[in-house]
């Protein structure tokens, strides 16, 4: 089965899409899949994780570093590029097994055919290092000019972010260092090359770029080439950062490309060992799912707990490089089951941004922690009050994502608790996780309303996941998550109190929490959470939803006047109807699958599915998950494929209003993994027990994958007739598994084959 994503031929209309599709990354930086000769008009970007900048009153967004891979080959004054030159073949490919980018083009200049071949990777071993090998061969003797170096004229959406450029050259290395506008951080890039065969080089510099020009006398049929070693860094001290990147480049040049590639590939081998999902009987699904997993690996913070994963990964500055609830709800499960260390980094990010969340709560007059809807380095909210521009008037439109999507605090709390339940790692609670949980619970108490006549707490004036209906009351999803947050806060306190009484006491004191305890427990006892209607079993998405116009999606779409018009907000077409942007109640049914019967899940899936526009890439996977849960894998399958192929096809919403929202879709990538493993294989962790309730698509022979639970490694293989579980020899603990109705405990190194009782349409509806 192939691990190669490739495109043959060159289509200028696909430059942006392919920048996303062929992306490389190592969690610390992302490098778009653009050609080496491209300038900023073609949107190359080396996007740095965790460094943001704001210019004037424009949006704050991540930094794109100067492009250290910039390279042009010039023949007779002509820059070789498929944009402007003749070529007779062109291919780009991404090997997702070892995360290497390959480019092969044969240009034709007169009678001369010049074959150009490049290979590049972002080291998974040294997260500041990028390497590239360039080779070329001509069919006729000629002289090629190689222009290569660091292009500091970077693509920015709301820039320019970099200033005070300093160019340097010495000891064979060139360097470019600059300062960000807002925080005055230094960003430095160093580059060194090794060239086969001696050649004279001339340095060419302008105010933004530092390039070398090298003339190479080429003999027909001979291969020439060079390797580029590039390091990128940022920090407070300009000199220090420059020194670090220079010494990284020197060290890399000593180690050499092949050795570094080999070591990088070993890291990737390990990643796949821990996470590869093998599907038999469906090559398309296999490929798309692997690709989705690749996308998650390239943006995962392996070494830092100060960054999380932005909604568009590291594919550029889109969406302000902001971290949304996408991480906890759609990506975290993949990391929990495959690489809990990375999951830990992701949840610790919420600990490090707690002060920002406290500031936001205070700003709105609440207590506790109200997390940023769009979170960056400090946890202050990057979301603006006017987040969308109306396509008709070209005026900014008031949106309430920032003010009213309070579920974000519950999502953050849920993520922390998920991590704790999966790993049993108390350190996260002790190092600030418990504090976050308590502050989130406190926020919800201060946000809630106690309705005396009904003797219940309600959560009013919120926006749920369905952003087309803003400022609604008692959104079922939000209320259920608020309840869960309160429960989690009490559970965390119980853990601390029994195991770490001193830490418990000092946290209570620090937060002055003792008075809150009674309040929270009263709220937990009396919190209203919308329940299924006894007759229809449908859970109303929010108070009054069922009274809205019940129009079908096709009719709603026939009312659209501009393909980019926003359907929510004050005048949005969906606002007054039952059409929802994305899974809302249905997502709640997935998250709390044990709290609701199969009949309820089915009734709600059937009710909400035709009313969902899937205007967010977060939606399809949820419909896949719940369809698989109720035994309808044929309903689930198209939703799974839509999710898993999103970054391969590039078919996704590119504009909301006038705002460009293209880029990669990590939540959908995580959703693809969830649909396959949690949906079709039916994996679920409940009170320390691992459950499987498979519902495989008819044409799948099997799905096999590794999982990690509480530090123990297992391998699972699900077929239509059995579920085989292997416990790794190195495991230390036994683990209980339940498949269908059968429960067994597997010893370290043991193997067990359970019958797959299967789930077909409507099975298990008894609850």
Binding site for ligand BGC (CB under 6 A): 311, 324-326, 465, 467, 581-582, 616, 618, 667
Least distance in angstroms from the C-beta of 667 to ligand BGC: 6
The distance of Cα 402 from the centroid of its chain, to the nearest Å, equals: 20
Q: Single out the residue of 690, 758, 694, 685 nearest to residue 727, CA to CA.
A: 690
Residue 581 assigned to a binding site: yes
Least distance in angstroms from the C-beta of 139 to ligand BGC: 49
**Which of 418, 582 has the CB closer to ligand BGC?**
582
Residue 373 Cα distances to 378, 379, 570, angstroms: 13, 9, 20
Residue 215 assigned to a binding site: no
Residues 6+ apart with CB under 8 A from 12: 83
Angle at 314 between CA 308 and CA 315, to 5 degrees: 150
Q: Single out the residue of 734, 740, 744 nearest to residue 758, CA to CA.
A: 740
Task: Report the alpha-carbon distance of residue 546 to residue 107 in Å, rounded.
Answer: 62
**Which of 272, 349 has the CB closer to ligand BGC?**
349
List, in sequence order, every residue forming a beta bridge with 167; answer none if it has no partner: 176
Task: Report the alpha-carbon distance of residue 619 to residue 339 in Å, rounded.
Answer: 25
Residues 6+ apart with CB under 8 A from 365: none
Least distance in angstroms from the C-beta of 527 to ligand BGC: 23
Neighbour count for residue 208 (Cβ, 10 Å): 17
Helix, strand, coil % in the chain, rounded to nearest 5? 35, 25, 35
Residue 93: which H helix or E strand, with range? strand 86-95
Task: Report the alpha-carbon distance of residue 668 to residue 291 in Å, rounded.
Answer: 11
Sheet containing 751-755: give its strands across: 278-280, 702-709, 712-719, 722-727, 751-755
**Which of 31, 477 has the CB closer to ligand BGC?**
477
Residue 325 assigned to a binding site: yes
Reply yes or no on whether 182 is catalytic.
Answer: no
Least distance in angstroms from the C-beta of 653 to ligand BGC: 8
Q: Single out the residue of 541, 518, 521, 519 nearest to residue 529, CA to CA.
A: 541
Pairing of strands 683-686, 659-660: unpaired
**Which of 399, 708 has the CB closer to ligand BGC?**
399
User: 159 — phi, psi (to 5°)?
Assistant: -95, -155
Residue 510 assigned to a binding site: no
**Which of 96, 618 has the CB closer to ligand BGC?**
618
Report DSSP state, residue 577.
B
Residue 603 Cα distances to 162, 476, 606, 636, 697, angstroms: 54, 15, 5, 15, 21
Least distance in angstroms from the C-beta of 290 to ligand BGC: 22
Q: Single out the residue of 619, 32, 82 nearest to residue 312, CA to CA.
A: 32
Report DSSP state, residue 116.
E
Residues 6+ apart with CB under 8 A from 360: 369, 370, 371, 372, 379, 380, 381
What distance, in Å, lies between the first and last C-alpha atoms of the chain? 39
Annotate 278-293 with DSSP letters as a single string.
EEES-HHHHHHHHHHH
Residues 6+ apart with CB under 8 A from 277: 289, 290, 293, 673, 676, 677, 703, 704, 705
Hey, what are 143's tokens?
A: 């002289």
Least distance in angstroms from the C-beta of 615 to ligand BGC: 7
**447: left (phi > 0), else alpha (psi -120 to 50), else beta?**
alpha
Task: Report the alpha-carbon distance of residue 388 to residue 390 in Å, rounded.
Answer: 6
Residue 321: which H helix or E strand, with range? none
Pairing of strands 4-8, 456-458: unpaired
Candidate list 467, 470, 565, 613, residue with the active-site label: 467
Burial classification of residue 739, based on how many CB atoms lie within 10 Å of its CB (0-12 exposed, 13-18 middle, 19 or more buried): buried
List, in sequence order, every residue forming a beta bridge with 714; answer none if it has no partner: 707, 727
**Which of 310, 764 has the CB closer to ligand BGC?**
310
User: 484 — phi, psi (to 5°)?
Assistant: -65, -40
Residue 386: which H helix or E strand, with range? none
Residues with catalytic roles:
467
From the annotation, which residues make up the binding site for substrate? 325-326, 581-582
From the annotation, which residues make up the binding site? 325-326, 581-582
């Amino acid at each position: 089965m192939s691990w190669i994503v490739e495109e043959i031929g060159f289509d200028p209309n696909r430059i942006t899409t392919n920048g996303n599709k062929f992306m490389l990354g190592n969690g610390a930086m992302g490098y778009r899949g653009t050609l080496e000769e491209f300038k900023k008009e073609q949107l190359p970007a080396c996007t740095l994780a965790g460094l943001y900048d704001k210019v004037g009153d424009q949006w704050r967004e991540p930094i794109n570093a100067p492009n250290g891979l910039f390279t042009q080959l010039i023949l007779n004054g002509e820059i070789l590029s498929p944009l402007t030159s003749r070529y007779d073949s062109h291919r780009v490919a991404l090997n997702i097994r070892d995360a290497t980018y390959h480019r092969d083009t044969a240009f034709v200049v007169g009678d001369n055919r010049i074959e150009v071949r490049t290979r590049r990777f972002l080291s998974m071993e040294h997260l500041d290092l990028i390497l590239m090998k360039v080779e070329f061969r001509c069919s006729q003797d000629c002289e090629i000019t190689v222009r290569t170096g660091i292009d500091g004229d970077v693509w920015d959406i709301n820039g320019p972010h970099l200033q005070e450029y300093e160019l340097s050259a010495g000891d064979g290395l060139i360097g470019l260092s600059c300062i960000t506008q807002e925080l005055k951080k230094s960003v430095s890039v160093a580059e060194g090359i090794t060239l086969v065969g001696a050649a004279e080089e001339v340095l060419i510099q302008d105010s933004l770029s530092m390039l070398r020009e090298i003339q190479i006398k080429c003999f027909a049929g001979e291969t020439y080439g060079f390797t580029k070693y590039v390091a990128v860094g940022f920090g407070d001290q300009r000199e220090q950062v420059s020194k670090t990147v220079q010494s990284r480049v020197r060290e890399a040049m000593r180690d050499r490309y092949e050795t570094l590639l080999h070591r990088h590939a070993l890291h990737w081998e390990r990643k796949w060992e821990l996470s590869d999902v093998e599907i038999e009987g469906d090559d398309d699904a296999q490929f798309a799912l692997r690709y989705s997993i690749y996308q998650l690996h390239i943006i995962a913070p392996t070494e830092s707990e100060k960054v999380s994963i932005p909604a568009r990964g590291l594919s550029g500055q889109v969406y302000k490089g902001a971290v949304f609830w996408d991480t906890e709800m759609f990506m975290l499960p993949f990391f929990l089951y495959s690489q809990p260390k990375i999951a830990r980094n992701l949840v610790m990010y919420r600990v490090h941004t707690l002060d920002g969340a406290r500031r936001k709560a205070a700003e709105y007059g609440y207590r506790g922690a109200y997390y940023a809807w769009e979170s960056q380095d400090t946890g202050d909210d990057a979301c603006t009050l006017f987040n969308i521009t109306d396509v008709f008037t070209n005026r900014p439109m008031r949106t309430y994502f920032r003010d009213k999507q309070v579920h974000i605090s519950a999502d953050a709390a849920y993520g922390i608790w998920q991590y704790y339940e999966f790993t049993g790692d108390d350190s996260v609670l002790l190092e600030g996780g418990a504090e976050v949980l308590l502050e989130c619970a406190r926020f919800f108490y201060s946000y809630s309303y106690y309705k005396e006549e009904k003797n219940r707490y309600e959560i009013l004036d919120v926006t749920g996941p369905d952003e087309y209906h803003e400022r609604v009351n008692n959104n079922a999803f939000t209320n259920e998550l608020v309840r869960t947050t309160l429960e989690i806060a009490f559970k965390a306190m119980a853990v601390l109190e029994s195991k770490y009484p001193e830490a418990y006491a000092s946290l209570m004191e620090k937060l002055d929490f003792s008075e809150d305890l009674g309040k929270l427990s009263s709220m937990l006892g009396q919190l209203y959470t919308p329940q299924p209607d006894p007759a229809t079993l449908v859970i109303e998405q929010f108070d009054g939803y069922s009274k809205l116009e019940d129009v079908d999606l096709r009719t709603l779409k026939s009312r659209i006047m501009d393909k980019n018009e926003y359907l929510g907000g004050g005048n949005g077409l969906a606002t007054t109807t039952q059409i929802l942007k994305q899974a809302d109640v249905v997502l709640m049914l997935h998250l709390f699958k044990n709290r609701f019967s199969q009949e309820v899940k089915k009734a709600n899936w059937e009710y909400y599915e035709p009313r969902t526009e899937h205007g967010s890439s977060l939606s399809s996977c949820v419909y896949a998950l719940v369809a698989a849960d109720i035994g309808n894998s044929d309903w689930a399958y198209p939703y799974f494929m839509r999710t898993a192929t999103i970054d391969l096809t590039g078919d996704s919403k590119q504009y909301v209003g006038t705002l460009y929202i293209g880029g990669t879709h990590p939540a959908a990538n995580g959703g693809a993994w969830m649909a396959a493993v949690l949906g079709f294989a039916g994996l679920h962790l409940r009170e320390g027990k691992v459950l499987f309730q498979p519902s495989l698509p008819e044409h799948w022979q099997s799905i096999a994958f590794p999982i990690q639970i509480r530090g123990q490694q297992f391998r699972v293989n699900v077929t239509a007739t059995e579920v085989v579980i292997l416990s790794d020899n190195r495991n230390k603990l036994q683990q209980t598994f339940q498949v269908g109705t059968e429960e067994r405990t597997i010893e370290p190194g043991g193997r067990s084959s359970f019958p797959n009782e299967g789930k077909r349409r409507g099975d298990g509806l008894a609850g």
